[in-house]
Amino acid sequence: MASGVPVSIRVAEKRFAGQAEPLFADLALDLAASEVVALIGPSGVGKSTLLRMVAGIERAFSGRIEIGGQSPDAAAVPGFVFQDPRLLPWQSAVGNLTAVNPSLDLGEARALLAEMGLKGYEDALPGELSGGMQRRVALARALAVKPQVLLLDEPFVSIDRKLARELMALVTRVIASHGATVLIVTHEPEDAARLADRVVRLEGRPATITAEHRISTPREERDVAFLRAETDRITGEAEI
């Protein structure tokens, strides 16, 4: 995978038709190369929309977003993990990876799936896999494009906490081994404390950054006591 690149977000205004207030106005956020930033905040504040804007999926806004100095249209395709796996049901696990990157070597695809703990399931269809396994395929698919930027939209939502912690451990290993710049949306402060270098809270309408929390402790050293303390700090901080 290519190493991470900086991301610059400058949104003058993002507005949905029929809404009196814009979703975003004069929003500025920068990510350093290979930094992991978690977005937290109430439902509906615009976290997922911001991810789609970075990905170039949502284009109706005024302002500019740059990925490694380029617009989303010109930049390398980011890896995107959605809230649900969104796998192609007629494609095998390997087929879902090569569907997003036809140039991906079959050996590379199998190696990615093995890295996700799916050795032996390369030829399985999504319907033959458990929900947790489908999410692992979705993460492998995001990595199959060899992204400089990895976007994770509530990747642990609607699953039990045991499975969520297993997937978080996997994402932690991916962060360490692949080096991409990561922007993750989560509603769980504990998940942010476990994964992020910096936690950014969005609140209000138009949404503004009301708090930033930096975490310098290496991810592998974040034990239960540390995570509890950091979660309390993230939850308790109301302003920058």
pLDDT 10s digits, 57-110: 999 999 999 999 999 999 999 999 998 899 999 999 999 999 999 999 999 999
> In terms of Cα–Cα distance, which of 143, 140, 133, 193 is closest to 163?
133
Q: Which residue has the higher pLDDT, 159 or 84?
A: 84
Packing angle, helices 93-100 and 106-115, rounded to 10:
120
pTM of the model: 0.92
Whole-angstrom Cα distance, residue 34 to residue 174? 12
Q: Which residue has the higher pLDDT, 235 or 113?
A: 113
Neighbours of 201 (CB within 10 A): 26
Whole-angstrom Cα distance, residue 231 to residue 188? 9
pLDDT at residue number 2: 56
At 1, the pLDDT band (50, 70, 90 cuts) reads very low
> In terms of Cα–Cα distance, which of 163, 118, 164 is closest to 137?
118
pLDDT tens, residue by residue, 225-240:
999 999 999 988 544 3
- Percent of the chain scoring above 70 in pLDDT: 98
> How many secondary structure helices (H) and strands (E) does the chain include?
7, 9
